[in-house]
Chains A and B, each alone.
Chain A
């Protein structure tokens, strides 16, 4: 994992957060704080709004409540913090007609910045040697690995991950834990919604948010 770190301490602060979808309140009065170097694990039963919470943070759903983003003590505007975010939802944004390398190259270009070589990222996602393979032929687990490989090609300080280890094998589970570990040890933050246990190293700064508890 790159250890060069991110400039400026990132801080995400949410107060009084609520979410209404289809006239139904999904969650209400959620508050938390995460900073660079920390991971926030969001837990909760199905339908308690884990994905909705991530989508609110990613700016894909309207936010009711206060969400503030800071970098190095300075408040960030929406376009500013949008450029810090990697959002990996359950839709994996993979084009079947493109090869694995083309898919990653596209996202690397879209997210800008210095990119790890594509072949390298595929290697680490355990998809090495499949560069010129069409993404449409991948299995569900491999597709998920490919979408997580986006995290590797462009370092960004904020990761919003929705069920990052779904469809993955045991080795994949450990890989996801290593990814998150690497992200927080280089000063980034990760908000992860999951049902699974993520084996982060002892001493890792992990906070937990339980949704759906009154």
Chain B
């Protein structure tokens, strides 16, 4: 447990001290929210209909931003090699890294969602559903992204490859994420979509640490 916490504390410190990565993330997230309404036009109804999709796409793109350094930094400076000999398994280490990655790359987005809601002229109940959907769905995005990043850890341009690898895997999250916020006409409640989102996140968080550990072990040669 001490080792698990040590990873979490270290990664949070590294993020806070690496200079503005969270601010860049937020700026990117919000600018997607600014740019799309400009492109779509000021029609209130169209915007309201598109808002859930815009927020999810902005969230997906933003969580991809931080992936390039997630495992590469540790690989390049030799940390990964020594982590093989740690007193906890690489799986546990990967799990700890996932938690931090969610805290620093998804939680800030959720906090910034009300600002996004203002730009997209969202009403209060929709905003609350959006926040709930992001809370439930972003863990899956983060875990899948981390999985992609771990596969690309040894590649020179891996930072570009990881997003391409995981884009298809993120499709279910987008589908259920959007229908949790605005249920398709005739389907009634969004309850089922919320449950699917939660299930996707739980599954992703439960299984990706094993896949990541496997990728990290294979990363040496």
Q: Once bound together, how far apart are the Cα atoms of A59 and B82, in whole Å?
A: 10
Task: Name the residue of chain A whose CB is nearest to the CB of B220.
Answer: A60
Any A CB within 8 A of the CB of B17: yes
Contact residue among A60, A62, A105 (Cβ-Cβ distance under 8 Å from B81): A60
Q: Do A98 and B77 have beta carbons less than 8 Å apart?
A: no
Contact residue among B10, B17, B221 (Cβ-Cβ distance under 8 Å from A106): B10
- B10: chain A residues at CB < 8 Å are 95, 98, 102, 106
Q: Once bound together, how far apart are the Cα atoms of A102 and B221, in whole Å?
A: 30
Contact residue among A21, A85, A105, A107 (Cβ-Cβ distance under 8 Å from B221): A21
Known: A109-B5, A112-B2. A58 touches B221 (CB 8 A): no
**Stretch of A86-94, A177-185, A202-210 on the interface side:** A86-94
Q: Taking the nearest CB of chain A, how far is it from the CB of B86, in angstroms? A: 4
Q: Do B78 and A110 have beta carbons less than 8 Å apart?
A: no
Any A CB within 8 A of the CB of B14: yes
- B14: chain A residues at CB < 8 Å are 95, 97-98
Q: Taking the nearest CB of chain A, how far is it from the CB of B84, in angstroms? A: 6
* Total CB contacts across the A-B interface at under 8 A: 80
Task: Name the residue of chain B whose CB is nearest to the CB of A84.
Answer: B85
| Interface size of B as a range | 20 to 34
Q: Do B221 and A89 have beta carbons less than 8 Å apart?
A: no
Q: Do A59 and B6 have beta carbons less than 8 Å apart?
A: no
Q: Do A93 and B85 have beta carbons less than 8 Å apart?
A: no
Any B CB within 8 A of the CB of A82: yes
Q: Once bound together, how far apart are the Cα atoms of A86 and B81, in whole Å?
A: 10
Q: Taking the nearest CB of chain A, how far is it from the CB of B96, in angstroms? A: 11
- B46: chain A residues at CB < 8 Å are none
Within 8 A of A (CB), among B3-47: 3, 5-7, 10, 13-14, 17-18
Main secondary structure, interface of B, reads helix
Q: Do A87 and B17 have beta carbons less than 8 Å apart?
A: no
Known: A21-B221, A97-B18. A106 touches B6 (CB 8 A): yes
| Interface size of A as a range | 20 to 34
Contact residue among B2, B17, B78 (Cβ-Cβ distance under 8 Å from A89): B78
Task: Name the residue of chain B whose CB is nearest to the CB of A55.
Answer: B220
Within 8 A of B (CB), among A82-141: 82-83, 85-87, 89-95, 97-98, 102, 105-107, 109-113
Task: Name the residue of chain A whose CB is nearest to the CB of B2.
Answer: A109
Any B CB within 8 A of the CB of A76: no
- A87: chain B residues at CB < 8 Å are 81-82, 84-85
Q: Taking the nearest CB of chain A, how far is it from the CB of B182, in angstroms? A: 42
Contact residue among B76, B77, B87, B221 (Cβ-Cβ distance under 8 Å from A111): B87
Interface residues of chain A, those whose CB is within 8 Å of chain B, are: 21, 55, 58-62, 79, 82-83, 85-87, 89-95, 97-98, 102, 105-107, 109-113, 150
A-B contact pairs, 19 of them (CB 8 A): A21-B221, A58-B84, A58-B85, A60-B221, A61-B221, A82-B85, A89-B78, A89-B81, A91-B76, A91-B78, A93-B81, A94-B77, A95-B10, A95-B79, A98-B13, A98-B17, A107-B82, A109-B2, A112-B2
Interface residues of chain B, those whose CB is within 8 Å of chain A, are: 2-3, 5-7, 10, 13-14, 17-18, 76-79, 81-89, 220-221
